[in-house]
Amino acid sequence: MTKTMLIEKLQVIEDRYNELTRQLSDPEILTDFTRYQKLMKEQADISDVIKKFAEYKKILADMDEAEELLAGGDDGMKELAGAEIDELKGKGTKIEDELKLMLVPTDPRDKKNIFLEIRAGTGGEEAALFAAELFRMYTKYAERNRWKVEIMDMNATGIGGIKEVIASIQGKGAYRRLKYESGVHRVQRVPQTETSGRIHTSAATVAVLPEAEDVDIRIEEKDLRIDTFCSSGPGGQSVNTTYSAVRIMHIPTGTIVKCQDERSQTKNREKAMKVLRSRLYELEIEKKEKERALSRKTQVGSGDRSEKIRTYNYPQNRMTDHRIGLSLHKLDSVLAGDLDEVFDSLTAYYQAEKLKEI
């Protein structure tokens, strides 16, 4: 984006800010609480951009004055003006970069809680063990951020592995931080079940779904088929004795969700509906993103679950994210939940990609 284009975009935002200021002082709007709140929120959302733009315009004005001195002053003034211009250029470039990032559209899902789904892929029991380790990794990261983790459904194996787990993670910034984790995660190591010491490659898939509200997606009761069955696995006296587990199929899409974590059928149904709503919401988002991708011939941060995004290499204590070419030789730390460097790098990369679109 050129400097001229940047200023033009910022001027449009400033004009809108001034219009909002005018509307908010209108007596007719002051009496309409709902509309007033909506306009106040819109103005608050762009206020930081306006402040930064004012700072930028002050630097541009100071540079104009300094260039006038450079053109017409004496030698002493020219020297001072030249030094000031160099300093102002540095400040201006920094603020330009900040403003460009501020113009990147925010994802409305960033503030949402998430459903984390992890499934063992190729690799048999070793893949299930790796899926369990991935779940522990994300759980530890959640604990560092004081997020609440609640298991919705889990299919565990006998030696500590997980064939499938669905968990709710609730906390500020959960989706914003974890949204780039969807995809195929690959592990390279000597399996616990391997006696010859050969390195095997196994995989697990991760899906991160923003929690959808009723307003995000509407589900018709006639489109659902709901079955109940006895729960299985750990769960207390109710296991295999009461029909507390719930399986819901969304007939139009064929999406199936089951939940057996609670002893109450009602609670399991509520949880299953939350997961179903979020899956259908994600399907709708993916559909819209693909439509936009076709129109612009590119797709940024699609979260394609069939894409191999990361490798965890135990012999080299290395984690590599293939999308951004990031390799960290501290796999033990990453698996302990030290993921901020990874997430910061991914966020910076995808922000840069979106800037290119602007």
The pLDDT-based confidence of 212 (bands split at 50, 70, 90) is: confident
Among the candidates 61, 77, 103, a domain finishes at 103
- Identify whether residues 61 and 122 lie together within a single domain: no
108 assigned to some structural domain: no
d(CA 169, CA 148): 6
- Identify whether residues 121 and 91 lie together within a single domain: no
Whether 238 shows a pLDDT value over 60: the answer reads: no
- List, for residues 258-312, the tens digit of each pLDDT value: 888 777 888 888 888 888 988 888 888 777 667 655 544 443 343 445 679 999 9
**pLDDT at residue 296, as a whole number:** 43
- Identify whether residues 94 and 238 lie together within a single domain: no
- Among the listed residues 340, 354, 10, 1, the one whose alpha carbon sits nearest the alpha carbon of residue 178: 340
Looking at the chain, list the stretches that DSSP marks H as alpha helix, in order from N- to C-terminal side: 3-24, 27-30, 33-72, 75-103, 124-144, 174-178, 265-296, 331-335, 340-357
300 assigned to some structural domain: no
**pLDDT at residue 69, as a whole number:** 82
- List, for residues 52-85, the tens digit of each pLDDT value: 999 999 999 999 988 888 887 677 788 888 888 8
- List, for residues 243-256, the tens digit of each pLDDT value: 788 889 999 999 99
- List, for residues 114-139, the tens digit of each pLDDT value: 999 999 998 889 999 999 999 999 99
Q: What is the CA radius of gyration of the chain?
A: 26
Average pLDDT for 91-118: 87
34 assigned to some structural domain: yes
CATH number where 215 lies: 3.30.70.1660
Average pLDDT for 7-29: 94
Q: Which of 37-51, 65-79, 180-194 bottoms out in mean pLDDT, i.e. has the lowest?
A: 65-79
Write the DSSP symbol of residue 228: E
d(CA 153, CA 168): 10
- Identify whether residues 95 and 129 lie together within a single domain: no
Whether 142 shows a pLDDT value over 90: the answer reads: yes
Average pLDDT for 21-49: 92
- Identify whether residues 231 and 349 lie together within a single domain: yes
Sign, CA dihedral 239-243-246-252, equals positive
Output the CA angle 206-212-216, nearest 5 degrees.
Answer: 135
- Among the listed residues 191, 141, 137, 132, the one whose alpha carbon sits nearest the alpha carbon of residue 164: 132
**pLDDT at residue 287, as a whole number:** 79
109 assigned to some structural domain: no
35 assigned to some structural domain: yes
- Among the listed residues 311, 288, 303, the one whose alpha carbon sits nearest the alpha carbon of residue 346: 303
**pLDDT at residue 79, as a whole number:** 82
Count of domains observed in the chain = 2
Whether 335 shows a pLDDT value over 50: the answer reads: yes
d(CA 184, CA 121): 9
**pLDDT at residue 132, as a whole number:** 96
**pLDDT at residue 251, as a whole number:** 92
b or e along 202-235 (b: 16 or more beta carbons within 10 Å of the residue's beta carbon)?
bbbbbbbbbbbeeebbebeeeeeeeeeeebeeee
**pLDDT at residue 352, as a whole number:** 82
Among the candidates 103, 128, 163, a domain finishes at 103
Q: What is the pLDDT of the chain when averaged over all its residues?
A: 86
Among the candidates 37, 68, 103, a domain finishes at 103
240 assigned to some structural domain: yes
d(CA 88, CA 3): 15
- Identify whether residues 166 and 278 lie together within a single domain: yes
**pLDDT at residue 164, as a whole number:** 93
- List, for residues 148-178, the tens digit of each pLDDT value: 999 988 999 888 899 999 999 999 999 999 9
- Among the listed residues 214, 209, 284, the one whose alpha carbon sits nearest the alpha carbon of residue 253: 284
Q: Which of 40-54, 120-134, 195-209 bottoms out in mean pLDDT, i.e. has the lowest?
A: 195-209
d(CA 199, CA 102): 46
**pLDDT at residue 114, as a whole number:** 93
Domain limits at 227?
114-295+306-357
The pLDDT-based confidence of 49 (bands split at 50, 70, 90) is: very high
β-bridge pairing 162-170 and 183-189: unpaired
d(CA 244, CA 267): 9
- Identify whether residues 174 and 271 lie together within a single domain: yes
- Identify whether residues 68 and 139 lie together within a single domain: no
**pLDDT at residue 329, as a whole number:** 97
Q: Higher confidence at residue 72 or residue 226?
A: 226
Amino acid at 250: H
β-bridge pairing 308-313 and 318-321: antiparallel
- Identify whether residues 84 and 125 lie together within a single domain: no
301 assigned to some structural domain: no
252 assigned to some structural domain: yes
The answer to whether the CB of 208 falls within 8 A of the CB of 109 is: no
- Identify whether residues 255 and 128 lie together within a single domain: yes
The answer to whether the CB of 116 falls within 8 A of the CB of 136 is: no
- Identify whether residues 150 and 291 lie together within a single domain: yes
- Identify whether residues 206 and 338 lie together within a single domain: yes
- Among the listed residues 206, 216, 235, the one whose alpha carbon sits nearest the alpha carbon of residue 276: 216
d(CA 180, CA 307): 12
Cβ within 8 Å of residue 149, ≥6 positions away:
139, 142, 143, 167, 168, 169
